[in-house]
């Protein structure tokens, strides 16, 4: 009887220091592993630009024809727009820039204003951003246009990119169409007494919408995980 009690007391005295010594090491080990994991997630998800929408063809090809954008000498103004939808997901996107193919119909240099707009029942609605695009010549060129406000775009929501002429010209410019067979564009005669009109029989303008997914900082998630985990391991070590 005495022998068994002595063994139990010795075992108890040896076990507690052992557990107390292991618990801090276990916490430090878990912290280190989670830090590495969340650092890798940060490199993958935060600040990484990606395509929100793209209807260019392989190797950025586009259709030779397209939509007329024009401000003529008699006061006529023709605006065009193409629709895109933000991919579904848990986090919104920051709009960074767009790529669009343009060329002047004649040997003129023209400027347009690119606009990011809301969707209003399947037609362009409110202007969210206006971005200048200048130096359009007769050579078909893909222009990269930077966002002016880095608007936050809602996942699963449709928006419009519109082109409005800012210089008067003889024949205007062509916003080249997509080569994928996607139809549907919006036309607006700004000098007329009616709004945007949807045209199903014409190809959608080619465009690529670039953005960054707004993923929460991994450091915040790391702190939220490590707090309860540290408390749990500390309790077990007592």
* pLDDT per residue as tens digits for the range 175-227: 999 999 999 999 999 887 789 999 999 999 999 999 999 887 665 555 555 55
Q: pTM of this prediction? A: 0.76
∠ CA 147-153-156, rounded to 5°: 140
Alpha carbons within 13 angstroms on the beta-carbon side of residue 206 total 28
Asked whether 20 and 237 are in contact (CB, 8 A), the reply is yes
- Alpha helix (H) residue ranges in the chain: 2-45, 218-237
Give the residue among 129, 53, 121 at the shortest CA–CA distance from 86: 53
User: How many Å apart are CA 167 and CA 173, to the nearest integer?
Assistant: 10
pLDDT band at 11 (very low <50, low <70, confident <90, very high): very low
pLDDT surpasses 50 at 15: no
pLDDT tens digits, 16-32 = 444 444 455 555 555 55
Asked whether 103 and 140 are in contact (CB, 8 A), the reply is yes
Asked whether 131 and 209 are in contact (CB, 8 A), the reply is no
pLDDT in the model for residue 230: 55
Tokens, residue 11: 């075992």
pLDDT tens digits, 45-99 = 455 679 999 999 999 999 999 999 999 988 899 999 999 999 999 999 999 999 9
Stated as kind and residue range, the H or E segment containing 209 is: strand 208-213
Rg over CA atoms, the chain: 30
């Amino acid at each position: 009887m005495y022998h068994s009690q002595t063994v139990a007391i010795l075992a108890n005295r040896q076990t507690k220091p052992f557990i107390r010594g292991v618990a801090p090491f276990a916490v430090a080990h878990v912290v280190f592993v989670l830090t590495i994991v969340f650092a890798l997630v940060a490199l993958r998800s935060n600040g990484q630009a990606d395509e929100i929408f793209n209807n260019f063809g392989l190797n950025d090809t586009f259709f030779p024809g397209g939509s007329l954008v024009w401000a003529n000498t008699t006061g006529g103004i023709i605006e065009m727009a193409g629709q895109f939808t933000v991919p579904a997901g848990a986090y919104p996107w920051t709009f960074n820039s767009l790529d669009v193919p343009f060329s002047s119909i004649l040997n003129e240099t023209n400027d347009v204003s690119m606009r990011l707009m809301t969707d209003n029942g399947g037609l362009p609605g409110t202007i969210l951003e206006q971005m200048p695009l200048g130096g359009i010549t007769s050579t078909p060129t893909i222009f990269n246009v930077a966002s002016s406000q880095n608007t936050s775009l809602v996942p699963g929501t449709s928006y419009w990119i519109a082109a409005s002429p800012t210089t008067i010209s003889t024949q205007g410019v062509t916003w080249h169409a997509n080569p994928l067979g996607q139809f549907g564009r919006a036309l607006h005669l700004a000098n007329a007494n009616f709004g945007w009109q949807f045209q199903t029989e014409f190809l959608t303008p080619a465009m690529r919408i670039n953005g960054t997914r707004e993923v929460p900082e991994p450091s915040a998630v790391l702190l939220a995980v490590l707090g309860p985990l540290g408390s749990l391991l500390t309790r077990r070590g007592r």
